[in-house]
A and B are shown apart, each in its own frame.
Chain A
Amino acid sequence: MNTDQPTHSVNQNDAEPVAGRSTVPIWLIVVFGLLFYWSQLFLAENAGGFNKDVYSPYPSYDEVAAANPQDPEAKRRTEGRRVFMTTCYACHMATGLGVAGTYPPLAGSEWVLAPGGNRIAHIVLYGLSGPINVKGQDFNGTMLAWRETYNDEQIADVLTYIRSQWGNNARPIDPQVVKAARAEGRANYESSDELLKMPVQ
């Protein structure tokens, strides 16, 4: 092929294409407007408020929350935590582990996890002095009585709290149990021997 000869492959009239101006037809704008309106309606119905916790088939956060198992004890544990963090944590520590050799642990304690709350209700109401064996360890100290400070409801709340924390997972304590224990009207500082004679429930 002879490359010296100039080529005229492009027609002189084929200039660079230029975009002209023309108005968008009004019907197109109307159609897009309607589509936009419909899409917003659809999103409002089905997008779950763009909440990250809302997946199908739940349409809204409220329905997800309602489908979750309801926890009627949550409020009591919160109240119990307040009491615990005001009073109990000083000795039993926020970890529930107590202080080795001085203050008994609550985490995993067989006293706390007993089937009923009768004995721990007595301990909180009337205090405790003298030797006590918790998780195979002997403690010999004094716990103060709290029956003048807290009412039945609050003591039941804190017992419910300590039975639900640090790996403890036992049933909540009913305020009636505390009320019954309070009605016995004992003197302060029960000993652990006395406690062991009481019914567990």
Chain B
Amino acid sequence: MNSGPLLFLGLFATMACSWTGFVLAPQLQLGGLTQTNTVVVGDALAQTYPLPQPGEAHAGAEIYRANGCAACHTEMVRPSALGSDLQRQWGLRRSLAEDYLFAQPVMLGAQRVGPDLANFGRRSDTNGIFLRLYDPGLITRGSVMPPYRFLFETRKIGLFPSPEALVLPDQDAPPVGYEIVPRPQARALAAYLLSLRQDGYLFEAPPPPLPKTNAVPTNAAPAAAKPAPK
């Protein structure tokens, strides 16, 4: 090999180019991203966006990560030009860099075996999440999602039944005298899933324009009509 330094320089330049493009430039552009105010429509007040996840949701993110949920679920609403996510009502708007300000790590996911979860908190509730985790087929018939029953505990009913016990149809019901309650991990995961909502309109993705008013403008009233008394 007679041109080692040249080869090294070529490899170095190639790596440096991609590092500049994929690491340095985004860091310079978005590294200083902070919370912003949402764009408001009408009389609403501007909100700070995004908000940090509450503690239980933060713990739930670790459960989400540990169980490999991101292998089948994404957390990103694609822009209108790149798919039908918005038509499926998976989000009010496309995902932006701000949405992931407090996600550590960002679990965008790579493929969609299941639906996108970027806005799952907007369309689900704790009980629905527990049922889906215990038996995914209950809510979505034919779901290929595996059940996560180890997040639940089957235990003997004590003095009173737990208010958190799952209400299940017959094929999933526990034996008489027993109840199925979510473990803390399931509650944390539910808190995390409920915290997934990218519903603040931001400057980069403003709300859709309001429909044009169809009210008759006052100056277009027929000339014969008398002006309304003030």
Q: Which residues of B contact A (CB under 8 A)?
A: 1-3, 29-30, 39-41, 43, 45, 79-82, 94, 96-97, 203-207, 209
Partner of B29, one of A17, A50, A169: A50
Are A16 and B1 in contact, CB atoms less than 8 angstroms apart? yes
Number of A-B contacts (CB under 8 A): 42
Q: Which A residues touch B97, using CB under 8 A? A: 52
A53 — nearest CB in chain B belongs to which residue?
B204
Are B29 and A52 in contact, CB atoms less than 8 angstroms apart? yes
Are A55 and B203 in contact, CB atoms less than 8 angstroms apart? no
Q: A52-B30, A55-B79, A57-B81 are in contact. Are A64 and B2 (CB under 8 A)?
A: no
Are B80 and A17 in contact, CB atoms less than 8 angstroms apart? no
A196 at the interface (CB under 8 A from B): no
Q: Which B residues touch A167, using CB under 8 A? A: 45
A169 to B1 Cα, complex, angstroms: 74
Q: What are 19 inter-chain pairs, A to B, with CB distance below 8 A?
A: A16-B1, A17-B1, A18-B1, A18-B2, A19-B1, A52-B97, A53-B204, A54-B204, A55-B94, A56-B79, A56-B82, A64-B203, A64-B204, A67-B209, A68-B39, A68-B203, A69-B41, A69-B207, A169-B45
Q: Which B residues touch A16, using CB under 8 A? A: 1
Partner of B205, one of A17, A19, A50, A55: A55
A49 to B92 Cα, complex, angstroms: 25
Contact with B along A141-184 (1 / 0, CB 8 A): 00000000000000000000000000101000000000000000
Apart from A52-B30, A54-B204, A68-B206, what 13 extra A-B contacts exist at CB < 8 Å?
A16-B1, A17-B1, A19-B3, A55-B94, A55-B204, A55-B205, A56-B94, A57-B79, A64-B203, A68-B203, A167-B45, A169-B43, A169-B45
